[in-house]
Amino acid sequence: MGAMDPASTVVGFVGTGVMGASMARHVMRAGYAVRVYNRSRSKAEALLAEGATWDDTAGSLAASSAVVITMVGYPADVEAVYFAPEGILASAKPGTYLVDMTTSSPELASRIARAARERGLHALDAPVSGGDRGAREGTLSIMVGGEAEDLETLRPLLGTMGKQVVLQGPAGSGQHTKMANQIAIAAGMIGVCEALAYAQRASLDPDTVLQSIAGGAAGSWTLSNLAPRMLAGDFRPGFYVKHFIKDMNIALESAAALGLSTPGLALARELYGQLAEAGGEEQGTQALFRLFSDRRA
């Protein structure tokens, strides 16, 4: 099947939170008709005011859409919206494309794909990286697991949300790639926090230090985008601590199943657990800096 015509394609979005709302907005601006469902309708009001159509359930949305995109919180939420008796898999018409962009379990992604094939549906797992800014600007990196033909059909649609859309392999491969991404971020976040804390303790101007090291070999997305928020004491969520902990738990479980030791990931999970216990669960991942800036050896 060729690429879909925006003028005649209905795209359903399940999950319109920090990331999902911005992603749905890019799809709408590209000319697609967008239907939305979220457990809290209030989080969809801005999209409804811009022309999206509300559905009362994920199932009714799936029945009315040619493409269903899910961007929810946890694997349990993914399982619920797909496998419920009147959920997405039971309600979508044959030929519908299902795209789970939640960071979730590779095993669950494979299970959704198998169930979709049995019902004549097409399923992709397509988690993203780039945070709230990437979602707002349409510059996300989208990591895809599934059939190449299905991706090519949806590539123009996915391209409205991301600047890089890469097929990683069969179902579950997108989620495995996102786990690799989260492992790199977890260890890197510790390094950024320690570097800034060191600069402060050495009586340096951390903003000036950041100017130098962000442009050198230590440069990273975290250093350029989240370190300034750390220094400004801005811990508002682009990506919630509670969701990052969820991702690290999935990564630790997946690594264990692969027989792989990930000590850096394990340390990051321990530290973020401490942050959550201290009340930081609803803050952004950059709030890890609080642990380092407040500590002494």
CA atoms within 13 A on the CB side of 95: 6
Token pair 């879909």 in the structure block, residue: 4
Q: Which residues are catalytic?
A: 178
- Residue 287: CB partners within 8 Å, gap ≥ 6? 235, 241, 275, 280
Structure tokens at 35: 């239907």
Residues 32, 10 contacting (CB under 8 angstroms): yes
What is the rounded distance in angstroms from the CA atom of residue 281 to the CA atom of residue 245? 9
What is the rounded distance in angstroms from the CA atom of residue 53 to the CA atom of residue 47? 8
What pairing do the DSSP bridges indicate for beta strands 128-129 and 67-70?
A: unpaired
What is the rounded distance in angstroms from the CA atom of residue 251 to the CA atom of residue 35? 32
For 253, which DSSP code? H
Q: Residue 289 to residues 23, 144, 181, 215, 243: CA-CA distances in angstroms? A: 28, 32, 20, 21, 17
For residue 266, how many other CB atoms are within 10 A of its CB?
15
Q: Residue 140 to residues 102, 143, 191: CA-CA distances in angstroms? A: 13, 10, 23
